[in-house]
Structure 1
């Protein structure tokens, strides 16, 4: 990991889009693929801000579509790095949909993305350490190691018995 340290707030991204007819399905709701595209972009920008490098998407965790986003809604995507490892970074993204005339705002979904910083040749490169400051940043930071271990186990890149943080969730103290 790079010797440089960065605050979580330095990576924050807020992206806003208006849902137009070309973004919708036959029910006049935003297409899931279009939303995933926007989420990937906003999350990648957060990871780039943190690492100051080219980043590639390594994984996306459990995206659930909790509520449809209607034609004409304003979609706001808020993303920021929650923790960095050697060359990878976890990014949390939260999506809200706003019906401005009705004065209604809902949380549509959220997800964790993982990005890897790479050099010009596509090889992984070290990223700065993340320094959480607020209570919510600390909570996300502390949970990131468990989420990372779970991702690695599910991808077959870590043995379940080596996932100490995940095992600790199931062990009595």
Structure 2
């Protein structure tokens, strides 16, 4: 049985891995898909640790690759719960790389994974509430609420049955497009 409320510290996961040549892309940098795979593992571990349940990835919000990662660098992923709903959680992940020789640390990526807790039959299961302990945790929680609300509003606005192209055509004049209908 999971506890009724937990702190984000109860969810913290740190994964560190040495970047090897077989993880690189054609330009010799670490392949973004490999980093996404590691991030998904970190999100799974974080959400499962927090909820005490098997968790699945429901969505990934915005992945910006800020700095390239080189072969031979150490990559560290820091993950923690930023938001909880009834059965879902938002896991914030920060990716940093460290040059082993110089000690230089680069922020390479931050992303947000929405995870859903499942029971042994695959049904959604309630997750513990989140204890907010400081202003930064409150900021992260509120940012997640705003992100979820914005996503839901965008989905509704552009749902096929709601979409009215006449409302948007004049806004597209400055874009590199041409209408042929």
TM-score, length basis structure 1: 0.85
C-alpha change, 1:50 and 1:3, in structure 2 (3 Å) is closer
2:67 is paired with a residue whose SS is coil
Ranges of 4+ aligned residues in structure 1 off by more than 4 Å: none
Counterpart CA distance in 1 for 2:18 and 2:3 is 40
Deviations 1:31-88 (A, max 9, x none): 0000000000001111011110010000101101111000001000000001110100
Shift of 1:137: 1.3
Shift of 1:123: 1.2
Query: Bigger radius of gyration, 1 or 2?
Result: 2
Matched with 1:114 is: 114
Counterpart CA distance in 1 for 2:22 and 2:110 is 23
Counterpart CA distance in 2 for 1:156 and 1:20 is 43
Q: What is the number of equivalent residue pairs in this alignment?
A: 158
Deviations 1:112-145 (A, max 9, x none): 1100001112111110001121332121012221
Matched with 1:39 is: 39
Counterpart CA distance in 2 for 1:72 and 1:47 is 29
1:87 aligns with 2:87: yes
| Gap regions ≥5 residues in structure 2 | 160-181
Shift of 1:156: 4.4
CA RMSD of aligned residues (A): 1.9
Counterpart CA distance in 1 for 2:101 and 2:47 is 34
2:72 is paired with a residue whose SS is coil
Matched with 1:8 is: 8
1:133 aligns with 2:133: yes
1:133 is paired with a residue whose SS is coil
User: Map of 1:72-83 to 2, 5 A cutoff?
Assistant: 72-83=72-83
1:100 aligns with 2:66: no
1:86 is paired with a residue whose SS is coil
| Gap regions ≥5 residues in structure 1 | 160-173
Matched with 2:18 is: 18
Counterpart CA distance in 1 for 2:122 and 2:97 is 35
